[in-house]
Chain A
Amino acid sequence: MSTQPEVIRESDVSLHIRRVVSYIVLIFLACLCLFPFLFLIVYTTRSHVEIQQGFSLLPSKYFGYNFKNVMDYVQFPLYKGMINSAIVSFSATLLCVYFSAFTAYGVHVYDFKIKRGVYTFILMVMMVPTQVSALGFLDMVYAWNLDDTFWPLIIPSIAAPAIMFFMKQYMEASLPIEIVEAARIDGCNELRIFNTIITPILQPAFAVQAIFTFVGNWNNYFMPQLILTDKNKQTLPVLIALVRNASPSDDDQGKAYMYMALAILPVVIVYLFLSKFIIRGVTLGAVKG
């Protein structure tokens, strides 16, 4: 009994030390994550000459100047890139979440012969990197004269195995078949059941997957840089890479930093508003322990 208080005191001290250590590590990592963006924001306010002169985290007064330069950058038109990215990302997201739920619903609700096989197949192809079929896809895109159009970037999102897998899991947890049966008795046809009764139930799942699909499409670089060669059709990541390649010769670093900042801004804003929601969604599509 006499040793008991001693043990407790000892563990209190070690707990205190552990707490201090973990806060130090956490603060260090948080700084590591925030510094690049803080740096980027400050550097959008500095002129090229100032940037050349030396490092400083004091904001300057060239924000407007850099902004105007980016807007006037006809070689790599940012606002067009933004519109293009928005068109591709919104359409792809819409198709992706709708048809993923559509497919998952087909597998979840109906008993047809190849149902098992279909689901297994989708799980199997979930992990296959898309790049392995890029060459054949590119050949098809050029053969059908779809280069410099958004179709090859939008339409394939209808077949997204990972999102379909998520939707199926969500349905298993929160879509009782009885709802479908009740609707059938009321004389509703199958497509209408899905569109008017099922989709509202799936809204939370739609919201989570829509955000991740949107961010994924907004940031997508590999396929767009192969398909989009016309500067008026290019999406933001493609333009970013081109600005990067041009940066030593077409040298205005203030403009370059502003370009990067504006390209990531929409996603940062979305993230700041929905961060809690996004973080909760991270684990939803993953395997269960």
Chain B
Amino acid sequence: MATLRRRTVSYSKWGYFFIAPFFIVYALASFYPLASTFYFSFFKKLVKFGQDMGPTTFVGLQNFIDIFTPNPNGVIEVGKYAGNTFIIWIIGFIPQIIVSLLLASWFTDLRLRLKATGFFKVVIYLPNVIMAAAISFLFSSLFADTGPINQIMAAAQGADNFQIQIATGEVGFRFFASIPAARIIIAGINFLMWFGNTTIMLMAAIHGIDPTLYEASAIDGANATQIFWRITMPLIRPILLFVLVTSLIGGLQMFDIPNVLFQNGSGGVNATSRTLIMFLNQQMQGTRNYGRGGALSIVLFIIGGGLSMMVFYLMRDKDVAEERKRRKKSKGAKLL
């Protein structure tokens, strides 16, 4: 009995052995850096080429006050870049969720019986695995002032000297000189890269629905629209929520595409396509601004956590919550 007991104890200790590498590395690579980022946010500290520029001084909450104070042009930079990030995200996300829902319901529609769905899935998922930096470079060339798209437009408009005429705006369209066009291009790349992924996620969700529900509704004479809104949509809500939350968090991290799209990560006309992470990245290039970068990181940390919590709260399944309440009540009643 005693030996058996000792053995059980020694086995459970192996658990610590197995989780140790993860937590040692996590502490070193994530937790300690996060804590030091917090710490730096209360200091004035500038570093260039690994050398401190001037003394490191404690400034309290001054860095946080600074990033929320309007600059000489009356612009609160963090707010502006948060706005850019959100606008670009939403321009991409709305078509993404609509197209994905449509495709997922078509792919899984038993009456529609589409052919070659395997091929279509492979094709629409393809952009997701390609390097975002490379796709962004490709689109920056495609939509450049003298790029192929403008060449087509100029040819259609009958330009005789298109290089000059495009530069003056006579023919074609200077995409990157236009604020909405530049944002739509970034959002378009995001859409292209993610709608396949979302489609596959939603398809899996629809496949998880009990097929007898569809059979029953078909027998009752429901049409495709009714089936979609009355059966599919309510039952895939948890996955929709998951897609929304992950997309929001992904959107908050938007960096590769807008940073490569414009030369030297300029962020386009008046930095109207500069995202929050691009702004954070700026603080870590050249002369590193620890105070401002730290404060910005903390703000990002709060936005990230807040956003996902807010979405969870807004979209929580009320029916399920009520059902749970009712069940609890009935259980209590039975006990009484």
Contact = CB atoms under 8 A, between A and B. Distances in A.
Contacts of B290: 135, 139
Given A36-B135, A129-B304, A135 B284 contact: yes
B155 A275 contact: no
B190 interface: no
A159 B204 contact: no
A247 B145 CA distance: 14
Interface string B30-61: 11111111011000000100100000000000
Contact of B249 (A127, A256, A279): A127
Interface string B90-105: 0000000001001100
The secondary structure that dominates the A interface is helix
Contacts of A135: 33, 36-37, 40, 280, 283-284, 288, 290, 293-294, 297
A282 B277 contact: no
Interface stretch (B67-75, B79-87, B259-267, B322-330): B259-267
Contacts of A247: 141, 263
A29 B13 contact: no
Given A54-B155, A237-B133, A241-B260, A222 B32 contact: no
A286 B102 contact: no
B264 A245 contact: yes
A253 B141 contact: yes
B252 interface: yes
B138 to A, nearest CB: 6
B2 interface: no
Contacts of B201: 282-283, 286
A174 B24 CA distance: 28
Interface stretch (A59-67, A72-80, A110-118, A201-209): A110-118
B169 interface: no
A125 interface: yes
A134 B308 contact: no
Contacts of B280: 131, 134-135
Contact of A275 (B33, B125, B141, B308): B125
Contact of B255 (A52, A190, A222): A222
A128 B322 CA distance: 30
Interface residues of B, number: 108
Interface in A9-50: 11, 14-15, 18-19, 22-23, 25-26, 29-30, 32-34, 36-37, 39-40
A100 B121 CA distance: 29
Contacts of A109: 15, 18
B208 interface: yes
A137 B124 contact: no
A106 B15 contact: yes
Contacts of B40: 135-136, 139
B129 A278 contact: yes
A270 B264 CA distance: 31
A106 B14 contact: yes
B126 interface: yes
B23 A159 contact: yes
B192 A33 contact: yes
Interface in B264-318: 264, 277, 280-281, 283-284, 288, 290, 293-294, 297-298, 300-301, 304-305, 308
B122 interface: yes
Interface string A180-218: 000010000011001000000000000000000001001
A180 to B, nearest CB: 9
B138 A18 contact: no
Contact of A103 (B19, B152, B242, B245): B19
A5 interface: no
A106 to B, nearest CB: 3
A30 B127 CA distance: 11
A131 B300 contact: yes
A251 to B, nearest CB: 11
Given A131-B280, A289-B238, A15 B111 contact: yes
Interface in A130-151: 130-140, 142
A161 to B, nearest CB: 8
Given A30-B123, A159-B30, A164 B131 contact: no
A22 B109 CA distance: 11
Interface in B146-180: 146, 148-149, 151-152, 155, 163
B200 interface: yes
Given A136-B40, A264-B130, A289-B238, A106 B125 contact: no
Nearest to B33: A136
A123 interface: no
21 contacts: A18-B224, A29-B99, A29-B124, A33-B196, A36-B142, A55-B151, A110-B11, A110-B14, A127-B249, A129-B304, A131-B255, A132-B298, A135-B288, A135-B294, A137-B29, A263-B134, A264-B131, A268-B126, A271-B126, A286-B201, A289-B236
Given A237-B131, A271-B129, 10 more contacts: A14-B223, A18-B224, A26-B114, A111-B15, A118-B19, A130-B30, A133-B30, A135-B294, A159-B21, A240-B260
Interface of B: 11-19, 21-23, 25-26, 28-37, 39-40, 47, 50, 99, 102-103, 106, 111-112, 114, 118-127, 129-142, 146, 148-149, 151-152, 155, 163, 192, 195-197, 200-201, 204-205, 208, 223-224, 235-236, 238-239, 242, 245, 249, 252-253, 255-256, 259-260, 263-264, 277, 280-281, 283-284, 288, 290, 293-294, 297-298, 300-301, 304-305, 308
